[in-house]
Amino acid sequence: MKKKFIAKRRRKRKIYKIKYTLYCLLFLIFFVVSIVSCQKIQFSMSNEEFLRNIIYQSNHHIPYQYDKKSIMTKVMKFFSNVNLDNPATILNQTYTGLTEGSQDLDSQENLDELEETSEYIEDPYPNNEISKPRVYIYNTHQLENYAASNLAEYNVNPNVMMGSYILREKLNNLGIPSMVEEENVTELLRINNWNYAQSYQVTKMLMQDAKEKNPSLEYFIDFHRDSVKRDITFKTIGDKNYARILFIVGMENPNYQANLALTTELNNRLEEKYPGLSRGIYKKEGPGVDGVYNQDVSPNVILVEMGGVDNTIEEVLNSTEVFAEIFYDYLGDQS
């Protein structure tokens, strides 16, 4: 009887061990499947939503409330340290791979190819009307994109339009009434059956129309980004990373001396306060280039290349803040 009891007890222990092992195995499988599934979830966010949030983060005079999704927010924050209640935290995450492909000032890229990596971004504050604007910001090449390596996972594709909206809010916050051109240049090119190289014809018409509708406009900023690589367009000053700034002046228009004088003054001020942030002034003329860049429309046209194809939108944001500060100081001295 004693032997039977011991044998029975051993069998029970063996069964418990098997059950325990199976439970552990099932738990492990469930855990692994859950992790893999969460990693495959696409946490999408529109460019407009992302832009609205980062503008709010730096301009607290703008009323804005992000639509919180509590369960998704907690899951996302647990697995990636990204807080969806504050999408700007995405900027602090890094992912492998940089966006390739770029367009320079005189590019004749195919529009269909450009739209594969970039898109028109609607104004995040379309009802934010400015009375008597002094500054008109536009993008002749609206689809010039920045690095999306830390944002692509969230369906965010930063480009120069995003930079223009940020610059507008920086200037407005400093008391310089500014507006951004909202027309879709790509669609206007298609309507007129024009190629990418004719983008300046589109923006020239838009500039002239803006001048007629807003006689208060004094300055015109064409916001671009360069096609060169990160080692040329990246700069750290103090504890901040910046997208380096390059000014372009077309030497084949009647206003080139006035535009050059204005650009030189801004460049000197930038170099004095933030040494190394400016890449200088690039004077363009001769065969194969535009040489005008709509600077014949006004003696106060500023063509600025804010960083390059490998810069992040956070670096661009820091540089627009500096540019707005320099421009504010310049206007103050003029008045």
Alpha helix ranges (H) inside the chain: 2-40, 47-58, 70-80, 111-114, 160-173, 185-191, 199-213, 230-233, 256-273, 313-334
Residue type, 244: R
- pLDDT for position 25: 82
Q: Are 205 and 230 in contact, with CB atoms under 8 Å apart?
A: no
Identify whether residues 4 and 139 lie together within a single domain: no
Question: Which of 130-134, 148-152, 199-203, 310-314 comes out lowest in average pLDDT?
Answer: 148-152
Find, among 153, 156, 148, the residue nearest to 40 by Cα.
Answer: 153
Identify whether residues 68 and 14 lie together within a single domain: no
Identify whether residues 51 and 178 lie together within a single domain: yes
Report the domain count for the chain.
2
Identify whether residues 134 and 10 lie together within a single domain: no
Phi, psi of 271 (to 5 degrees): -70, -35
Q: pLDDT class for 53, splitting at 50, 70, 90? A: confident
- pLDDT for position 74: 47
Identify whether residues 4 and 128 lie together within a single domain: no
Identify whether residues 22 and 131 lie together within a single domain: no
Q: pLDDT class for 97, splitting at 50, 70, 90? A: very low
Q: pLDDT class for 92, splitting at 50, 70, 90? A: very low
Residue 70 scores a pLDDT above 50: no
Identify whether residues 86 and 71 lie together within a single domain: yes
Identify whether residues 165 and 25 lie together within a single domain: no
* pTM, entire model: 0.75
54 compared with 276, residue with greater pLDDT: 276
Identify whether residues 74 and 164 lie together within a single domain: yes
- pLDDT for position 325: 97
Identify whether residues 31 and 106 lie together within a single domain: no
Average pLDDT over residues 248-258: 94
Residue 146 gets the label, from left (phi > 0), alpha (psi -120 to 50) or beta, of beta
Full domain range(s) for residue 77: 47-334
Residue 186 is part of a domain; what is its CATH number?
A: 3.40.50
Identify whether residues 70 and 169 lie together within a single domain: yes
- pLDDT for position 38: 56
Residue 258 scores a pLDDT above 90: yes
Identify whether residues 104 and 128 lie together within a single domain: yes
Question: Which of 3-12, 150-159, 189-198, 220-229 comes out lowest in average pLDDT?
Answer: 3-12
105 compared with 276, residue with greater pLDDT: 276
In sequence order, which residues have a C-beta less than 8 Å from that of residue 120 and are 6 or more positions away? Answer: 142, 143, 161, 184, 186, 187
Percent above pLDDT 70 for the chain: 73
